[in-house]
Amino acid sequence: MIIGLDVGGTHTDVVLLDPSGPVERTKVPTDETDLFRSILSGLDRILDGRDPGGIERIVLSTTLTTNAIVRDRVEPAGVLVCAGPGMDPELFRAGPHYHRVSGAMDHRGREIQPLDQDQIRTLAVRLGEQGIRHVAVVGKFSSRNPAHETRIAELIAPYVERVFMGHRTSGNLNFPRRIATAFLDASVYPIHRAFFEAVGAALREKGLTAPVHVMKADGGTMSLEASIESPGQTLLSGPAASIMGALPAACTDEDVVVLDIGGTTTDIAVLVGGVPLLQPLGIEIGPFKTLIRSLETRSIGIGGDSHVRVREGRLEIGPDRGGPPRALGGPEVTPTDAFVALGELESGDPALARAGIAEIGAALGLDERSAAQSIVEIACERILAAVDRMLARIDGQPVYTVHEMLEGYRVRPARILVLGGPAERFAPHLAAQARLPVSLVPDWGVANAIGAAMARTTCEVGLVADTERGLVSLSNGDAQWRCDRRYTREDALRQAGEALRALALASGADAEDMDMEVTEDLQFNIVNGFSTTGRNIRIGLQIKPGLIRGYRPSTSTPRSDPC
């Protein structure tokens, strides 16, 4: 059995699953000042009378780090950057303790300016004096050569508590995002560490020894131990969990659109052959654009509780929320009230809902029923239009080779899957308008907990070999090794595969369940004068997001309607 534990800012949800689905669920309040008690009381209720030995896996998701960043309630973190030619690194300032130091690498990872050790030590002393305990160290092109970052980390280690290095965040090139990502790691570290310790203590208290995984924004998980190295990876993992919850209902031989309809927003994601699409770079949170891998999702400000009003004779829905629906005594009319007025939903006081809809109708010159229908129709229309925009954007993504340009995969969804609180009400109306069949995900209300519980460990590595320099570098680690001129693309693929496997196992992956995929496979001649002097080989490998063994549909037939 699996425990899914979702620690939010106000509530902690706990579910217990077996291969057939959820068997137990509970909700307890979260007390951020005593996380240990909150988690323990949730576990108590779920495990009541059960043998902890029957639990084979525990998956956590948390919004604590996300909330802290969004509300800007984090301890100040220091940042040291080395930049080199290009844009002024001051433009990428993260926080008040941001310093540029000497040192630069070029695009092939060759040093073009050395570090100034005295300058770094002086800054480290100052950061220590200012009470800065966590520091991000980021270099331009550090994913090509991490030497400067590792040296700076060594130099400042005696003066601070923990250092986060940019090249560990991702193999992708994007210096400003690398700065933001390492800064977020350093910023949320104390909060995540408190969570990490409380969870560990609560699990020990209950005698739970199963492997513990933490949900990430890319729809995958990492081990609890790994999460302490990169706590920023827990940011915005909530929407990803819901999307993963739709996977059991999707066919693996078609493309599917997933709609996660909530109170104020609807998140849209796309599954291609049963696998969710990932964003090319990473999440955006508050003012930060990052390299934190995530699912490709679009959010539109329409949900069950969206504020409905008439402005200049036109119906407007969302993007704000004015509180609960009228039916529940809220101040503003919502789509939920429209469902109540249409007799499709029993919730609160139907008279209040109908009165609200009648107001809208009066402003539009419609009777109550027509007004309710218009609200639902327009909400669905807007959601479906957002789906079309997202698909167009995915198909319009730039490509960089003739082959990709001509053979480029076009997403052709065959179905829309709907989940989330108000999903059941919206589904038939969406079906009436959509060009595609619409189906409801089973367990549509708790899909997020199910998704988190069954998500598999994901990770990625990037390998760059420069045979002219005789050097191979691996991102997401500090490894670098020599190679000779005979080093080939096949060698690179093999070594990257071994590295990915090792990293995946360290992150808690099941050795028998790794769905590896090549994300980048390029090789170029390095030419000096008119002769080839070496090769530049770039390999990207990842483990795709997916469901763990034993918990995913064994055939292409989903558990809901037939495809």
Partner 1 sequence: MLKASHKTGLVFFPAFDWAIGPTHPEREERLLYTRDQVFEEGILDVEGIREYRPELASVEDVQRVHFCVPDVDSAMTESHYISAGGAMTIGRAVLDGEIERGFALVRPPGHHAMRMVHGGRGFCNVNNEAIMIEALRRRYGIRRVAIVDTDCHHGDGTQDIYWHDPDTLFISIHQDGRTLYPGSGFPEEQGGPNALGTTINIPLPPNTSDAGYLEIVRDTVLPILEEFEPELIVNSAGQDNHFSDPLTNMNFTARGYAELTTLLKPHIAVLEGGYSIEGALPYVNMGIILAMAGLDYGQVIEPDLCPESIAQSPEVGDYVRRLGELTRRNWRERHDRMAALRANGQRLQRRSRRIHYDTSGISERQEETVRLCERCGGALRIESTADQGWPVLAVHIPPHACEDCRRTGRDWFEEGKRGRFGRVFLQDRPEDRFEIA
In three-state form (DSSP H/G/I as H, E/B as E, the rest C), the secondary structure along 301-320 is: CCCCCEEEEEECCEEEEEEE
Q: Do residues 464 and 495 lie in contact, with contact meaning Cβ atoms separated by under 8 Å?
A: no
Question: Looking at 37, 151, 289, 369, which residue binds partner 1 (CB under 8 A)?
Answer: 289
184: CB partners within 8 A, 6+ apart = 69, 232, 235, 285, 288, 290, 292
Q: Is 209 in the site for partner 1 (CB under 8 A)?
A: no
User: How many residues in the shown chain lie near partner 1 by CB under 8 A?
Assistant: 44
Least distance (Å) from partner 1 to the CB of residue 297? Answer: 18
Question: Looking at 32, 44, 106, 377, which residue binds partner 1 (CB under 8 A)?
Answer: 106
Q: Is 532 in the site for partner 1 (CB under 8 A)?
A: yes
Q: Is 104 in the site for partner 1 (CB under 8 A)?
A: yes
Tokens of 415: 């179905």
- Tell me whether residue 401 or residue 556 sits nearer to partner 1 (CB atom): 401
Q: Is 72 in the site for partner 1 (CB under 8 A)?
A: no
Query: Which segment (370-378, 403-411, 413-421, 502-510) binds partner 1 by CB under 8 A?
Result: 403-411
Question: Looking at 145, 174, 187, 560, which residue binds partner 1 (CB under 8 A)?
Answer: 174
Size of the chain in residues:
563
The dihedral sign for the CA sequence 290, 294, 298, 303: negative
Q: Is 116 in the site for partner 1 (CB under 8 A)?
A: no
Q: Is 288 in the site for partner 1 (CB under 8 A)?
A: no
Least distance (Å) from partner 1 to the CB of residue 473? Answer: 13
What are the backbone angles phi and psi of residue 550, rounded to the nearest 5°? 85, -15
Question: Looking at 72, 88, 312, 346, which residue binds partner 1 (CB under 8 A)?
Answer: 88
Q: Is 87 in the site for partner 1 (CB under 8 A)?
A: yes
Q: Do residues 13 and 26 lie in contact, with contact meaning Cβ atoms separated by under 8 Å?
A: yes
Question: Looking at 122, 209, 370, 397, which residue binds partner 1 (CB under 8 A)?
Answer: 397
The Cα–Cα gap between 473 and 107 comes to 13
Q: Is 91 in the site for partner 1 (CB under 8 A)?
A: yes
In DSSP terms, 257 is beta-bridged to 270, 416
What is the 8-class DSSP label of residue 247? G
Query: Which segment (29-37, 77-85, 271-279, 366-374) binds partner 1 by CB under 8 A?
Result: 77-85
Supply the Cα-derived Rg of the chain in whole angstroms: 25
Query: Which segment (66-74, 378-386, 474-482, 525-533) binds partner 1 by CB under 8 A?
Result: 525-533
What is the 8-class DSSP label of residue 545? P
The dihedral sign for the CA sequence 350, 355, 359, 361: positive
Question: Looking at 37, 299, 536, 563, which residue binds partner 1 (CB under 8 A)?
Answer: 536
In three-state form (DSSP H/G/I as H, E/B as E, the rest C), the secondary structure along 426-437 is: HHHHHHHHCCCC
Which H or E element spans position 246?
A: helix 237-246
Tell me how far CA of residue 503 lies from CA of 179, 234, 506, 541, in angstroms: 23, 18, 5, 11
- Tell me whether residue 260 or residue 460 sits nearer to partner 1 (CB atom): 460
Tokens of 190: 């104390």
Name the residue among 288, 293, 289 with its Cα closest to residue 74: 288
413-419 and 438-440 beta bridge pairing: parallel
11: CB partners within 8 A, 6+ apart = 27, 28, 29, 30
Q: Is 524 in the site for partner 1 (CB under 8 A)?
A: yes
Q: Is 349 in the site for partner 1 (CB under 8 A)?
A: no
Q: Is 175 in the site for partner 1 (CB under 8 A)?
A: yes
Q: Is 396 in the site for partner 1 (CB under 8 A)?
A: yes
- Tell me whether residue 166 or residue 220 sits nearer to partner 1 (CB atom): 166
Q: Is 522 in the site for partner 1 (CB under 8 A)?
A: yes
Least distance (Å) from partner 1 to the CB of residue 261? Answer: 30
Least distance (Å) from partner 1 to the CB of residue 408? Answer: 9
Question: Looking at 173, 194, 434, 563, which residue binds partner 1 (CB under 8 A)?
Answer: 173
The Cα–Cα gap between 213 and 473 comes to 28
SS3 label, residue 266: strand
Q: Let me know if 90 is exposed, middle or buried by CB neighbors in 10 A (0-12, 13-18, 19+).
A: exposed
- Tell me whether residue 313 or residue 396 sits nearer to partner 1 (CB atom): 396
Q: Is 232 in the site for partner 1 (CB under 8 A)?
A: no
Least distance (Å) from partner 1 to the CB of residue 156? Answer: 24
Task: List residues binding partner 1 (CB under 8 A).
Answer: 83-88, 91-92, 104, 106-108, 112-113, 140-141, 172-177, 287, 289, 396-403, 405-406, 522, 524-527, 529-532, 536
